[in-house]
Amino acid sequence: MPTQPSALLQFLRVEPDEARPLLLLWIHSLFVGIAIVLLYVAANTLFLAHLPAQALPYAYVVSALLCSACWRGCSIVKHGDG
């Protein structure tokens, strides 16, 4: 006799055979998020230990521009679009 899926699985529209992989992905996402938070705090601490706080916004803008340029470069290499 098949078991009745839980209310949460029904709400999320998850099939019973998808529940375990979904749980593992959620756990993985939790630990990745924790790692990102810890690295973010460490990076800001090291940055502020060597530079004044007024330089932090400029660092964020430069970081965003560099990430955008890298993203665009990877897209061009992968898809060949210009």
**Tens-place pLDDT, residues 33-75:** 999 999 999 999 999 999 999 999 999 999 999 999 999 999 9
* Residue 56 CB neighbour total at 10 angstroms: 13
Say what the pLDDT of residue 81 is.
Answer: 66
Average pLDDT of the residues in 16-45: 94
C-beta separation of 9 from 19 below 8 A: yes
Cα angle vertex 56, ends 64, 60, to 5°? 5
Higher confidence at residue 67 or residue 8? Answer: 67
Q: Compare 28 and 79 and report the one with higher pLDDT.
A: 28
The tokens for 64 are 């965003």
pLDDT at residue 2 tops 60: no
Amino acid at the residue 11 = F
Indicate the domain borders of the chain. Answer: 1-50, 52-82
